[in-house]
Amino acid sequence: MATGASGGQPSVLSTLPKDLPLDFLKTITDQFSPEHILGTGAFGTVYMGIAPDGQKITVKKLAENSPIARDKLFTNEVQNIMALHHENVVKLVGYCHEAQKKVVQNNGRYIVADIVESLLCYEYLPQGNLQKNLFEVSCVMDWDTRFKIIKGICQGLAFLHSISIVHMDLKPENILLDGKMIPKIADFGLSRLFGQEQTRMRTQNVVGSYGYIAPEYLYKGEISTKSDIYSLGLLILETTTVEKNCSNNEPSATQFIKSVHDNWTDEHIVSQWPHLYGDRFQQIKVCIKIGLECVEIDRQKRPSIEEIVNRLNGLWSTGS
């Protein structure tokens, strides 16, 4: 059982039910104060919550005008990750789906209505997301840390695919890092749970992050584990090269992929990291090769997550 900040005693959160009261979440976020905001996105605003015993959690308040219905986002996250326990998947510690009476305006009149708030609570990860650590800080992460992150993301995705969950929104913003820079896959609002023996599905409602959407999903609405592999390839390329996939609001990552393919030669790698050699030089080369294989237009040519994990494990050495 989790212990409080002082140690020894159970934490407040561990003694509460998973279904957390809205008043409790308001209290620990100081009434959803702007000072507690960790980030905002199309699907909601993320706050830091501080329990009375000092324990921190992340509280995501789902947006009413989200691109996907709020109830669907809530259900996806709770059903798909509530019971998951893996080192590289963010832990959902609680949720809230509660109606409160509010006075709202309707057709020029004020009425009392039940307004439902939907919130999701996760373990707090102090290093923030991969996007920030790759592109928004002055000190570039060393290669060993970035390689550890790539391996961790792949291991987390292998776990999800093994239980038939397709994430559908892999990107640097949705990879969170703990105090030891261990990556955790987060944000399962778009995730899909496949039935037994099911390998792909089709949808008319294509929703995702520009620059990371697999072409067969973008243009045909086809979803499979290979959709995640495409996004993973871009994540690997960005983490390896520390170059941003700037799609300029275009849905395709074609220009970024072409740039990596054309520019990241052996000579370029050496020029970027002249002090790297041996194992680490090989790791960078293979990560770029795997990343480019993952973003093949033909999904059948993309490697499986099991193959990717095996190849990366084969590169690991005691010196890394």
CA distance 13 to 15: 5
Reduced to 3 states (helix: H, G, I; strand: E, B; else coil), residue 215 is: helix
Alpha helices per DSSP H over 163-299: 215-220, 225-241, 254-263, 266-272, 279-294
Beta strands 56-62 and 44-50 are antiparallel
**169, 178, 266, 279: which is the annotated catalytic residue?**
169
CA distance 123 to 39: 15
Q: Is 169 a residue of the active site?
A: yes
Which residues, 6+ apart, have CB-to-CB distance to 199 below 8 Å?
224, 225
Which residues, 6+ apart, have CB-to-CB distance to 187 below 8 Å?
43, 169, 173, 174
CA distance 160 to 168: 11
Instruction: Tell me the CA distances in angstroms from 318 to 144, 279, 313, one per residue in order.
Output: 12, 10, 12
DSSP-assigned letter for residue 119: E
Tell the residue number behind the tokens 């293979």, with chain if given.
286
For the annotated catalytic residues, the residue numbers are 169
